[in-house]
Structure 1
Amino acid sequence: MNIIGIIGAMPVEINLIKDNLKIIGEEEYAGFKFYICDKENIKVVLASCSIGKVNAASCTQILIDKFKATHIINTGIAGSLSESVKICDIVISNAVTHHDVRKSQMTNWFPFKEEFESDKFLIDVAIKAYKKIESIKFNYHIGKIVSGESFISDCNLRNLIIEEHSPHCVEMEGSAIGHVAYINNVPFLIIRSISDNADDNATNSIIDFEKISANNSALLVLNILDILDKAN
């Protein structure tokens, strides 16, 4: 049986998923609470890891070691780094990397990778899941997502990240989740809905769009789970 580990940083990013799944148990490890959810043909383990790459990496490893997750999906919000990616749009990762780690460090030291590629099967499922959404009010994009240990709300830093990585969006957990999934040989996918533009107005924008965007991403994940459940 496939075991799908779902991670959101903040409770708002997983609440819609939690409310729409049958929870059959709860367990706590290293301060993280894991909700064990049952569908017909797959098991889902849902967790909120809190903010930042260290928390995200720790939570991911627990999902793999303790719950034997066969797939990892990260859901949540992000700041757009592309003119084509608008507020409330969805970004489906094809690769993730750390924007606050030098590329030479990534390639010269374990695991010797500049970026981590998302699972192609999960990308295809995510596209199908998007098309199942009724009355779609947002677009989806497939592209690179970058992560770092700070909330980006400065136009100068935003431009530096764009120049260095050409990503679709920026957040604080996805690259760590992809990194840990990669070294454990577990397929992963990062899904983000845009809450702000990672610019000087980001703090105000995220207040207005945090819940809407979080629910857009969560809705896509729920559809992914339905497709995976029917495929087994």
Structure 2
Amino acid sequence: MTSQQNHLIKTALKINKTALFNSSAAVQPIDIKLSQGLDLIYHDYAFKNYNNAINFSKNILRIDFSFKGSISFIKNNQKHIFLEPGFLKISKSSTDHNIYSTDNGHYQGVTIIIDQDKISSNFQYLIAKNNLLKNLVDDYDLDNGHAILKSEYIDQMFHDIKSVEVPNQLQYYCLKIAELLLYLDSKTAHSASLSPEYFFIENTQKIYAIHQYLRNNLNKKNHFKIIS
């Protein structure tokens, strides 16, 4: 891990942080409490499988972004992609009993947790729209699923969250998250939303196979074949 990637860890070491799971758990995410109803959770650990229940309050809005590592889960005896590096996932969360796994044994990313019933008036003032969170739930149809987005703006946003250091780090995170929410409420963000079929595990594995084949055979002539 480079020094640019350590500002989230530095912040966590300076404040009252919360380990979300007990010391015997397979993963140890760190919860940075930003304000009432707003948490920034940092993930950086190695694990192969995780199958303990993850509990959330009823009216939680959850935003996940992966810096490194792909996460899959098993649901109804089928394997699905949960998150890929460089992608944002927004969802409403409840108790989660899925079995998770990593493709390469390591995951680094962040989760933003917004409790819509407890969010502070100060943060509400930053986003300047009383119904913005409800708009996100409705516009992305989060009551019936989740949304996946990919854009240069999102990449830069989370790069800044990870790498920029300022005197008041917690206030900076609050401002960046408010900026992110305003962006997600825009037409530009909606145009960056991907079809749910994008993360079908079969499609993703085929893309990986093609990508790896091309890398291995880039300098060879007349050796390309169809991968099916």
TM-score by shorter chain over 0.5: no
TM-score, normalised by the number of residues in structure 2? 0.29
TM-score, normalised by the number of residues in structure 1? 0.29
Greater radius of gyration (CA): 2
Greater RCO, 1 or 2 (C-alpha within 8 Å, sep 6+):
1
